[in-house]
Structure 1
């Protein structure tokens, strides 16, 4: 599986960096950069990503912009969102963005929308277990008696 760090390593390696420098750019430790760079250069996912990028770059003609003309702005989101969650949603749903960027936005947004099971803490789990046990047991707390008032007397 191609992770974000592996993708950064492959891009840095394709831009002309050495394996060690690419590993450092990808976020790996400087102490282990040489060995990690060598290991990642042999990784089948990294190799496949680099081949795919090379093929797509050779097949697509890159337009050259004149210095006088600024490049067109495809997605100008600066100052549009006050809530980071709304920004991540817009990036995730933006079809003009790269698929990997959209996936990263979805991953970053996931814990805020769907919390992990059991994140309530020990006390909450213990109270929930006690309620389940009390309801299923014949020794649990009984319901209070229903009071009937007869004033016809």
Structure 2
């Protein structure tokens, strides 16, 4: 499996000298689960390969700078604060394809860009069928009523001689 954007940001933060927990926070994982996520990610085969290669930020995926890897310590000593991610330039594409690429880790996008794509995709890709459940069931019944198990055709009408 390929190295996703979050995993890559985690690995880059570890290479930059952060601890596993701080690197997980910098990559976008929740501060509550960052320790467990950092421990899990260090054992991930893709992240291990990336770390063993020592790949630096120059070898990142295209547009991989969605998160700044410089968290600031808080005054009260709590979790590190990440700076807001800047807009990631994305070439013009179909919104559904963009969402697929983000989900598969091929493209990095900010949360705002993903939400905008989700809102826009409903206008370009309507749901399958405009009818409701009842219309679908009625159509399915018509299709099932044809063929071998359907109602037999009406018998031919007999016409009596001379009468109308």
TM-score range, shorter chain: 0.3 to 0.5
TM-score in terms of structure 2 length: 0.43
Q: Which has the higher helix share?
A: 1
- Give the TM-score normalised by structure 1: 0.45
